[in-house]
Amino acid sequence: SFNNTIITVTDPQGRVVFWSSAGTCGSKSSRKASPYAGQRTTVDAIRTVGLQRAEVMVKGAGSGRDAALRAIAKSGVRLSCIRDVTPMPHNGCRPPKKRRLYFTVE
């Protein structure tokens, strides 16, 4: 997101094996959203699990996600697929009803 970077490592069935966030890696407040924090979080997750091959799904916005992808590519992990799964609204929420003003003339 714009405020934090969260990396989740799952097995092929989708069960969580390991997760890491910029906050758990020691970054505080607004620094959690920086590209450096995203890179550091990714390197922490890759080292802990010991990945050789991966399929990457990127979700959300922010500068941390691009840095995380670059860190994965530099680490030597073989990527079979990079997919963007950011949710996009089709039509959005229904707008509020139009405001009616009542005037009394005396």
Could you read off the pLDDT of 24-68 as tens digits, one per residue? Answer: 887 777 777 788 888 888 888 888 888 888 888 988 887 888 888
Confidence label for 83 from pLDDT (cuts 50, 70 and 90): very high
CATH of domain 6-84: 3.30.420.80
Burial of 67 (0-12, 13-18, 19+ CB in 10 A): buried
Q: Which residues contact 27 (CB under 8 A, 6 or more apart)?
A: 34, 37, 40
How much is the average pLDDT of 67-81? 88
Whole-prediction pTM value? 0.71
